[in-house]
Amino acid sequence: MPTEPVHACFDAHIFNGSQRVIVSVNDGENFQLVAQDGRPFEFDFHAPLDGKLHLVLEFPDAVSPKALGMSADARKLALAIASITFTQKGTGGTYGIK
């Protein structure tokens, strides 16, 4: 049985302006959103009662600077995360990662 909803907020620089993000939480909840540079991307999910979180983010629009003619860098890039904040709804408890 899930706990109260948790709100996740990612502050990140999004490469090439915007990226689709496919989110999977504990192999259960799945959804897709669009992250845009200059704005945090946020979503809500239910954390399991055991408190363990397995969060998978996929970036199907990742692209290399080389493919865009920007440089010789062939690595596919999506974003650079500055911080992540999780807020337990109902309790107001906040946990951050920087």
Statement: residue 90 has pLDDT above 50: yes
Residue 1 is predicted with a pLDDT of 44
Residue 72 is predicted with a pLDDT of 97
Q: What is the pLDDT of residues 14-43, one digit of tens each?
A: 999 999 999 999 878 888 999 999 999 999
Q: Measure the CA–CA gap between 45 and 34, rounded to whole angstroms.
A: 17
Q: Concatenate the DSSP letters of all residues of 14-74 into one string.
A: ETTSEEEEEEEETTTEEEEEEEETTS-EEEEEEPPTT----EEEE-TT-B-TTTTTS-S--
Q: What is the pLDDT of residues 2-17, one digit of tens each?
A: 567 889 999 999 999 9
Statement: residue 65 has pLDDT above 90: yes
Farthest CA pair distance, the chain: 49
Q: Which residue has the tokens 């490469």?
A: 15
Mean pLDDT of 73-93: 87
Give 80's DSSP letter: E
Q: What CATH number is given for 5-97 in this structure?
A: 2.60.60
What does the domain layout of the chain look like in residue ranges?
5-97
